[in-house]
Amino acid sequence: MKYLITIVGPTAIGKTALSIALAQHFKCEILSCDSRQFFKEMTIGTAVPNEEELQAATHHFIQNKSIFENYTVGDYEKEALIKLEQLFQENDFAILIGGSGLYVDAVLKGFDEFPEIDPEIRSEVNSNYEKLGINYLQEQLKKLDPDYYQKINLENPQTLQNPQRMMRFTEVCLGTGKPYSSFLNQKKGNRNFTPILIGLEADRAVIYDRINQRVNIMIQEGLLTEAERLYPNKALNALQTVGYRELFSYFDKEFTLAFAIEEIKKNTRRFAKRQLTWFKRNESTKWFDFATPKSEIIKYIQSKI
């Protein structure tokens, strides 16, 4: 039997430290499942493990792509499964760690299969969005897939403000003549491993304090300089990310620096809340307080083997 120990939870909760402790105990390797840590141009703002942490255990999918590459969750799923197959030839354990719920789900359960879309339709949707804005995309989804629109509006309303996601929904509807939701929840591929899901949590005040401290440290470590270097490419999808977006607004003279930093903290806190909502949906996850001794978590994992 092969086991994929999966560590989830909100940002700044201590997932990296736990993953290294578990990798050392089970003598196995770590796959990052953080959709922004893939990019080599983004280091400080994505809280990439530091050199000491990277040396403490073998990591995969850390800064292995460029922001200029079009890298999707489907691409990640395929590459992660290939890597897991290789790792499981040598070891009964591997660790998956990250805060990107969609990417975690893709590895554990499979990613929905969508047909190829005519590039002309994609171009037309993109062009209409540039001319008409996000309202165009919202109206299209409301008309072409009203049930899915309502579901998003109830469960994850911020998605309606995400141009990349909304363009994808719209192009699939237009390109296939079918609702986007009709392609969801199809039969997924089988997995040759058993997941053991570990969640880290804390009181909201503790999570928020840890986030505020982390942002302060990022600023001290040079996040402003990193964001300034990336600013000319601010339109890229990879850079539509908390921590960079707010500083781009500072460079655009829309925010003061102090206000931009407070916005990073506020938006990161909101992101953490959304992460917890996503991960709490999976009833298979065993939740631990972030301060739980690692030996207790190891004991739980061993009880599942």
Mention every residue, 6+ apart, whose C-beta is less than 8 A from residue 189: 110
CA distance 244 to 225: 11
The crossing angle, in degrees rounded to 10, of helices 146-155 and 134-144 is 120
**Under 8 Å between Cβ of 142 and 149:** yes
**11 marked among binding-site residues:** yes
**Under 8 Å between Cβ of 194 and 1:** yes
* Secondary structure (DSSP) of 65-129: B-TTS---HHHHHHHHHHHHHHHHHH-SEEEEE-S-HHHHHHHHH-PPP-----HHHHHHHHHHH
Beta bridge partners of 60: 31
**15 marked among binding-site residues:** yes
Q: Residue 25's CB: how many other CB atoms inside 10 A? A: 16
**Under 8 Å between Cβ of 193 and 84:** yes
**16 marked among binding-site residues:** yes
**82 marked among binding-site residues:** no
**45 marked among binding-site residues:** no
* Secondary structure (DSSP) of 4-39: EEEEE--TTSSHHHHHHHHHHHHT--EEE--TTTTB
**163 marked among binding-site residues:** no
End-to-end Cα separation, the chain, in angstroms: 9
Known binding residues are 9-16
Known binding residues for substrate are 11-16
Known binding residues for ATP are 9-16
